[in-house]
A and B are shown apart, each in its own frame.
Chain A
Amino acid sequence: MSRRSQLLRYGASRLLLGPVMLWLIATLVFLLLRLAPGDPIDALLGIRAPEEARAALRQQLGLDLPLLTQYGQFLVGLLRGDLGASLTNQTPVAQVISQSLPASLELGVCALLLAAVLGLAVGFSGIARPDGKLDLAGRLYGIGTYALPPFWAAMVVQLVFAVWLGWLPVGGRFPVTLLPPTGSGFYLFDSLRAGNWEQFSGTVRHLVLPASTLGVLLSGIFDNALRLNLRRALRSDYVEAARSRGLSETRVVLRHALPNALLPVLTISGITVASLIGGALLIEVTYSWPGIAFRLQEAIAQRDYPLVQGIVVVVAALVVVVSVVVDLLVALLDPRIRF
């Protein structure tokens, strides 16, 4: 079988496993939510509502049905692409997700780009003199950013740049004195498309602090990964062979060592993207960024079963897609990979 066919088969098998993984995750989250203590009716009505009002609302929301029936309805809905409605205000879950997911993706992509540029630059800067001052500083940077508690770091950044210096907004996604752009929900894109400079600069102003904080905190991962892999690559036989052929050191580093060192970094990027989609919670909370992780946290606190289920399923689906794409890219780029 040719490598191309093998690759296609590999990709197909990974994609076919996706729905099974999603079903498992959906089932798990459905069961865990029901097993967890707390009742959505308490969150909706408070503890003082009379039993009759509680029972009526329970019936209205379908929470009085047997668990198996609720599970069946949930799965049937999923198959139809219907994630249900939020218990809190009956808004379709898909609508809530379509409003908060772009916010998370916009933040995540900007942070990831910054992390990659910063991390790779710092990681690369130390290779000239391993164990030299620059390399040591890079290593300290990598460990430091990795070890910093995100919540604390975000608060310090917020206090310094927003409160003390007043350069940037404290939180939120958009200036409250303007109306946000309409369209895809990606404000950068929407404001650019509309050609509205005020909206665009407002979006950027609000994006700078959360994206920078998240980007810097993540850049240590890229820094460490590139440094270790580049160092290993520079000691390998093919680099030795390149040097002995009389190639310039620039060419050796940029054409031979760096591409190989970047392959594991690609895998790390995939994992980071996956974790960013739902995992930037502390940054979202600190900067009042109305993203999906923040929404999920609130939905859990309110025991809003359909919303929690919907968000988890959608985020899981994205994670599955991203990891499949990254796996395929790595397989495509690295001929050493066997399937």
Chain B
Amino acid sequence: MASRAFEWPQRALPLPIAPFSDLKRWLTRPLVGALSLVLLAACQPVRPVDRLVVAGRSRIDSVDPAATFSIGAMQLLSALGDPLYAISPDGELQPRLAVAPPRLSADRLTAWVPLRQGVRFHDGSRFDAAAMVFTLERFLAIGKLSYLLGDRIASVRASGPYELELRLRRPFTALPQLLTAVNLTPLSPTAYRAHGRRFLNERFVGTGPYRLTFFNDQQQRLEPFADYWGPKPANSGIDMVNLSNSTALYGALRSGEVDVLLSTSLEGDQQLSLHRLAAAGSLREGRGPALEIGYLTLLSDQPPLKDPRLRRALAFGLDRELISQRVSHGLRPSLRELVPPTIPGSDPQAWPAFDPAQARELFRQAGYCNGRRLSVPLTFRSNIPSDRLFALTWKEQLARDFGDCVQLEISGMESTTAYRQLGKGAFTAILLEWMGDFPDADNYLIPLLGCEQAEGNRCLKGASAASGSFWTQPGLEQDLKRSESLEGEERVALLRRLQQQVAQASPYIPVWLVAPRAWARPNLQTPRFDGAGRVVFSRLQKEHHP
């Protein structure tokens, strides 16, 4: 029977063609629908000329400077607001909304900051000392990082229409550096009056080169502020987008969907690929100052690393160059100090370089290598890919160079869980990173070494205990306090001496430096960074060919 199109297995009944034609119809309709959708999808929205799309990874929960301190939010705020002072890419302090460095009283407990006149907030209201007082008092009252300010500043008041008076709790040399913090950017008292004691998450009214005209946690729109007091932005606006996935970000730049990509949290392989593309001329790569340090914390009050010879042996036994190459292909340069090299007080050779002979000798002195092998548990944060790579690489490097002396037992732990247990002395060794809230040496040393209560070399309470090393030494806390009030060469010398003392005891081992990077499409100029490691949005622009 020629007309039989279907045949059922149970019985060969004649079947008309109807079901097949039905089937064709059923299949055709969705296919036509799908095709229409694809055609619809091909209608790409037209992108305005000179508006740029910048992509980053971190989602921005809030644009209130008192509520947030994530890297993404700080990047956004740096385009919307102005600090009193700023750090230039070469480390120089520059007045922004202040017009000169602070003037200090004879006892150095009062500082007067002269403010810029003629500056307007985005809502048109006037910036003056009263607005700055409002901002600082609000931050002291509800800021998540209020302790940064409250620990050093007792009170603020307007000593004149354009002069701010700060009463300090103790002499504090790094006051201008503290005032570079973008969290302290002035807010319009008019706009924030109803939010004096609560966060305003979705609006921002400051003095910066851009106004925030749209905000949600994935997308933000910045328009140039017509009444900006400084140089006008070189572009006609920025659209910021936050994508959660590193591959999506990488793909968005490659496909031309975004113009500029920020390196924050981008995975190492993709950073390397973009770096190579930039080297080949297919992209533009900008690099900011390296202010983030990666370091190992060693538990110094419990065996086995209570023995300083073993800590020192590990410091000698860490082949940073190899690890930098294997983990980051050299994008994270090796680091042998706790203070980043661009900050006064750094000592680039405070910690020893890789020296296998010296390391082996110290292991021997501590009773290992002669048929006895030291076992060191190393914890890495399992949600951070570079940490895992570091742990695996160092384990193999130690096995290669000191297989008869030491072995690493590595295990991963989710970061938030690890942080909770850090101050309980749960980790013999753990890899962490740190970036100071403002660029000053104290901001790197005190959070790692500060100690309020000690017993010999053991810190019972304070930053050192909270950081998981529990190490201190007599006189260290006093020296740290003293460095806050010293100035110039005297301070630099003290900071270097402190680092050398810490290196001798090695409760921490610096590993690498992380510098922020940004990649731009080839039709844009190379992205530029400020001294705090943020891309200067107002300088982003397309190449204009004659």
Interface size, A (range) = 35 or more
Contact of A250 with B18 in the complex, beta carbons under 8 Å: yes
Q: Please report which residues of chain B, range 160-214, place their CB below 8 angstroms from some CB of chain A when the two chains form the complex.
A: 198-199, 201, 214
Chain A residues with CB under 8 Å of B27's CB are 121, 125
What are the residues of chain A within 8 A of B6 when measuring CB–CB? 128-129, 249
Q: Is the CB of A176 within 8 A of B420?
A: no
Q: Are A44 and B144 in contact (CB under 8 A)?
A: yes
Q: For B447, what are the chain A residues with a Cβ–Cβ distance below 8 Å?
A: 48
Q: Does B30 contact A (CB under 8 A)?
A: yes
Contact pick for B417, options A37, A163, A234, CB 8 Å: A37
Q: Is the CB of B144 within 8 A of A177?
A: no
Q: Is the CB of B254 within 8 A of A177?
A: no
Inter-subunit contact A285/B30 (CB<8 Å): no
Contact yes or no, B26 A205, CB < 8 A: no
Stretch in A18-26, A267-275, A297-305 with 4+ CB within 8 Å of B: A297-305
A-B Cβ contacts below 8 A, count: 199
Contact B40 A42 (CB under 8 A): no
Write out the residue numbers on chain A whose beta carbons fall within 8 Å of the beta carbon of B423. 47
A39 and B64 CA atoms in complex are apart in Å by 23
Residues of A within 8 A of B19 (CB): 128, 249-250, 253-254
Contact B255 A287 (CB under 8 A): no
Using an 8 Å CB-CB cutoff, how does the interface string of B240-282 with A read, 1 for contact, 0 for none? 1111110111111011111000000000000000000000000
Which of these, B44, B146, B199, B414, contacts A205 with CB under 8 Å? Answer: B44
User: B13 an interface residue at 8 Å Cβ cutoff?
Assistant: yes
Asked if A90 is at the interface of the complex by the 8 Å CB criterion, the answer is: yes
Q: B218 and A254: CB pair below 8 A?
A: no
Which A residues are CB-close (under 8 A) to B383?
A: 301
**CB-based contact B243/A163 at 8 Å:** no
B447 to chain A: closest residue by CB: A48
**A63 on the B face (CB < 8 A):** no
**Interface hits, A193-209 → B, CB 8 Å:** 198, 201-202, 204-205, 208
Bound together, the chains give a CA A208 to CA B419 distance in angstroms of 40
A49 touching B147, Cβ below 8 Å: yes
B67 x A128 contact (CB < 8 A): no
Contacts A48-B463, A285-B244, A303-B416: A177 and B16 contacting too (C-beta < 8 A)? no
What is the minimal beta-carbon distance from A62 to any residue of chain B, in angstroms? 15
Q: Any chain B CB within 8 A of the CB of A167?
A: yes
Q: Does B1 contact A (CB under 8 A)?
A: no
Q: Which of A37, A52, A201, A250 contacts B16 (CB 8 A)?
A: A250
Distance in angstroms between the alpha carbons of A159 and B5 in the assembled complex: 41
A180 to B220, CA, bound (A): 11
A172 at the B interface (CB under 8 A): yes
B239 touches A176 (CB 8 A): yes
A205 and B466 in contact, given A172-B243, A250-B19, A302-B416 (Cβ under 8 angstroms): no
Cα distance, A86 to B252, chains bound together (Å): 31
- The reply to whether the CB of A227 lies closer than 8 angstroms to some CB of chain B is no
* B41 close to A (CB within 8 Å): yes
In chain B between 1 and 41, which residues have their CB closer than 8 angstroms to a CB of chain A?
A: 5-11, 13-16, 18-20, 22-23, 26-27, 30, 37-38, 40-41
Q: Is the CB of B416 within 8 A of A167?
A: no
Answer yes or no: B373 CB below 8 A from chain A CBs: no
A286 at the binding interface (Cβ < 8 Å): yes
Nearest-Cβ distance from residue A272 to partner chain B, whole angstroms: 18
Query: Please, which residue of chain A has its CB at the minimum distance from the CB of B466?
Result: A47
B252 is contacted by which of A44, A129, A171, A201 (Cβ under 8 Å)? A171
B68 interface residue (CB < 8 Å to A): yes
Distance in angstroms from A163 CB to nearest chain B CB is 4
What's the tally of chain B residues with a CB closer than 8 Å to chain A? 84
Q: A38-B419, A42-B416, A253-B19 are in contact. Are A170 and B243 (CB under 8 A)?
A: yes
Question: B417 contacts which chain A residues (CB < 8 A)?
Answer: 36-38
Contacts of A47 in B (CB 8 A): 419, 422-423, 466-467
Q: Is the CB of A234 within 8 A of B248?
A: no
Interface residue stretch chosen among B45-53, B108-116, B306-314: B45-53
- Nearest residue (CB) in B for A206 is B41
**A335 on interface, CB distance cutoff 8 Å:** no
Inter-chain CA distance A129–B12, complex, in Å, is 11
Report B480 CB to chain A, min CB distance, Å.
14
- With contacts A90-B198, A303-B416 taken as known, whether A208 is within 8 angstroms of B144 at the C-beta atoms is no
Determine which of B10, B244, B247, B467 lies in contact with A158 in the assembled complex, contact meaning CB atoms within 8 Å. B247
Question: Bound state CA distance, A124 and B256, in angstroms?
Answer: 42
A248 within 8 A of B: yes
| B41 x A168 contact (CB < 8 A) | yes
Whether B13 contacts A243 by the Cβ 8 Å rule is yes
Contact of A249 with B243 in the complex, beta carbons under 8 Å: no
Residues of B within 8 A of A180 (CB): 216, 219
What 4 new A-B contacts, CB under 8 Å, besides A88-B61, A173-B218, A302-B416? A37-B420, A162-B257, A249-B15, A301-B383
Q: Provide a sorted-by-A list of 28 A–B residue pairs whose CB atoms are within 8 angstroms.
A: A36-B417, A37-B420, A42-B416, A47-B467, A48-B467, A51-B466, A86-B61, A89-B67, A89-B68, A91-B62, A121-B23, A125-B23, A129-B6, A158-B251, A159-B251, A170-B243, A175-B45, A176-B258, A177-B47, A177-B48, A177-B51, A198-B45, A208-B38, A248-B16, A249-B6, A285-B244, A286-B245, A301-B383
Interface residues of B (CB under 8 A from A): 5-11, 13-16, 18-20, 22-23, 26-27, 30, 37-38, 40-45, 47-48, 51, 53, 59, 61-62, 64, 67-68, 144-147, 151, 198-199, 201, 214, 216-219, 221, 239-245, 247-252, 254-258, 383, 414, 416-417, 419-423, 434, 447, 461, 463, 466-467
